[in-house]
Structure 1
Amino acid sequence: MGDTATMESGYVFDPSWEREHGRLLALEEIYDSQSRHRLNELGVADGWHCLEVGCGAGSIARWLAKQVGAAGRVLATDLDTRFANAHGLSNLEIRTHDLRTDDLPDASFDLVHARAVIEHLPDRDEALRRLAAATRPGGWVVVEDFDIDGPMYPAAARYCPPGYTELAERLGRALRAAFGAAGVDTGMGRRLPQALADAGLTEVGAQVHAPVLTGGDAAFLPLTLRSLRPRLLATGEMTDMDIEDVITLTKSHGTTCIPNFMVIAWGRKPV
């Protein structure tokens, strides 16, 4: 899902948008390295059974399939799987699935991973309980969500070039308002460690990931802003010219910016 989903889940991105696949690929380019690092640290190995929820364009699912080898398997799910491709990996199954309503096998996976998914769901605690229930005793649940609430968007704005801080702060307010209006929990990342503990997991840990992007090198922000343009304008915080100014800034070589703070949290199911 952060990655793809339907609007009734609170998901704000339209999977039918002509450039949505490119936006998802750009998201993977920014955030995959941190995801892979954490999954490696937790010991993903040959023979593991893994569940990737909200697989989007499928990069993490394919990486997991290569890590677990022929003796392992990966189930990758999403509400809309149009962009996911197994690329011939026989141990990777891609399945259309709704975490809110469709069953998952109990205690079946050594690893369950979801990135930019839980924040969009109306009953987030129940969704985390479902992920925990699908994890075998001793297995890991890894969840990643954004935190654009409270002081986080002003902090991100500080990494913009001088003279653009006020514009970046207004963009942060617009994003928070647009996501909030759609039912997204804009501070879900901050709440993940406690939420995983409440789901019955132990050995809970978390990190905040804030990649500093160099202008002209990453397409994620321009594509995201174009996709969200109607929602951003509806907040009253941004004009169309403001949005174009930000897009121009993110494409300018030599500038820097932070897209959003991503929190990655993990917990282990008790044996």
Structure 2
Amino acid sequence: MMRTDGHLLADRQAATADRQTRTPTRQTDAAARSDALAALFDPTTFRHLESLGVGPGWRCWEVGASGTSVVSWLAKKVGPTGKVLATAAATDLSWATPVARPPVEVRLHDVGAEEPPGDGYDLVHARLPLVHVPDRERALRCMVKALRPGGRLLVEDADPALQHLACPDEHGPEQQLANRLRKGLLRLLVSRGDDLSHGRRLPRQLRAAGLRRVGADAYFPLASPACAALESATIRQFRDELVTAGFGTGQDIDRHLANLASGTMDLASAPMISAWGRRP
């Protein structure tokens, strides 16, 4: 059904009226997204970090950290003689409280705009921050510059343009609604400047940055409970923007969230590309 100006105005007014109610939940939704991302992608990340040889005494920089799982894993691997620096551009670092003790240090840093926070790192790892960084080439140069000779870089980023559907098996109205909202969300992200096809370019960009032994692979999660958890947290987080932009009504979103809660939806997440290389 065509959305009229009256419908869109009513949706905008409803979104404005309940924005104050929803604002306190944004941190909860962000934490839920972080937990779901960890459940989906930690096994792949840890497999790659293991293959790069992370061990006692290593100096590691975790770029764009937003949760504790990878930082904690690295801290256990490097031990008391190593170091793990976790940085994030966001001003809220409350998530880091449980891990902010030696060998872990946490600080604010914008990888796309600032010089690296030191050099001589054995490992630099970034998972999913670059899609939101305007100057991605500068961010990659920053990470490479921080490595010691022979140091390893592992960059992992989503590529929603490779698979843009929430439900690849679109067999009913519930799946059609999910896909309509997913497409609207991706259009929102593009309008903010996010690069939805960045992941596939990582191997070429790592070689252009001067790294050697470059390799890459992709992981495409499907029908995992964590996919539904990630979708639910993401939709709640972007609810107001989706309604304001006319990509769905509040009723649409409530129905989609209820469908997700039913446990009968086979959700997919965008493929994550993992690319790695060594500084000569």
Q: Tell me the residue number matched to 1:246.
A: 256
Q: Tell me the residue number matched to 2:144.
A: 132
Q: Structure 1 pair 87/130, CA: closer, same or farther in 2 (3 Å)?
A: closer
Query: Does the Cα contact within 8 Å between 1:217 and 1:251 map onto a contact in 2?
Result: no
Superimposed CA distance per residue, residues 84-130 of structure 1 (whole angstroms, 9 cap, x where no aligned partner): 13536411111111223333255411110111111111110111011
Q: Tell me the residue number matched to 2:115.
A: 103
Query: Does the Cα contact within 8 Å between 1:58 and 1:83 map onto a contact in 2?
Result: yes
Task: Point out where structure 1 has 5 or more consecutive residues left out of the alignment.
Answer: 1-13
Q: CA RMSD in A?
A: 2.4
Counterparts of 1:91 and 1:216, CA distance in 2 = 30
Superimposed CA distance per residue, residues 144-200 of structure 1 (whole angstroms, 9 cap, x where no aligned partner): 111111x5114x531466544433332332122111111111111111111111111
3-state SS, counterpart of residue 265 of structure 1: strand
Bigger CA radius of gyration: 2
Identity %: 36
Task: Point out where structure 2 has 5 or more consecutive residues left out of the alignment.
Answer: 1-22
Q: Structure 1 pair 233/206, CA: closer, same or farther in 2 (3 Å)?
A: farther
Counterparts of 1:74 and 1:29, CA distance in 2 = 21
1:226 to 212, 236, 239: 236
| Residues 1:122 and 2:122 aligned together | no
Query: Does the Cα contact within 8 Å between 1:215 and 1:250 map onto a contact in 2?
Result: no
User: Which residue type is aligned with residue 95 of structure 1?
Assistant: R
Q: Which has the higher helix share?
A: 2
| Residues 1:64 and 2:106 aligned together | no
User: Which residue type is aligned with residue 45 of structure 1?
Assistant: G
Q: Structure 1 pair 216/43, CA: closer, same or farther in 2 (3 Å)?
A: closer
User: Within 5 A, what are the aligned runs for 1:185-204?
Assistant: 185-204=195-214
How far the C-alpha of 1:222 sits from its partner, in A, is 0.8
| Residues 1:47 and 2:62 aligned together | no
Using the size of structure 1 for normalisation, the TM-score is: 0.85
Using the size of structure 2 for normalisation, the TM-score is: 0.82
Q: Tell me the residue number matched to 1:7.
A: none
Query: Does the Cα contact within 8 Å between 1:216 and 1:253 map onto a contact in 2?
Result: no
Counterparts of 1:88 and 1:203, CA distance in 2 = 33
Counterparts of 2:129 and 2:230, CA distance in 1 = 17
Counterparts of 1:95 and 1:192, CA distance in 2 = 26
How far the C-alpha of 1:76 sits from its partner, in A, is 0.6
| Residues 1:153 and 2:164 aligned together | yes
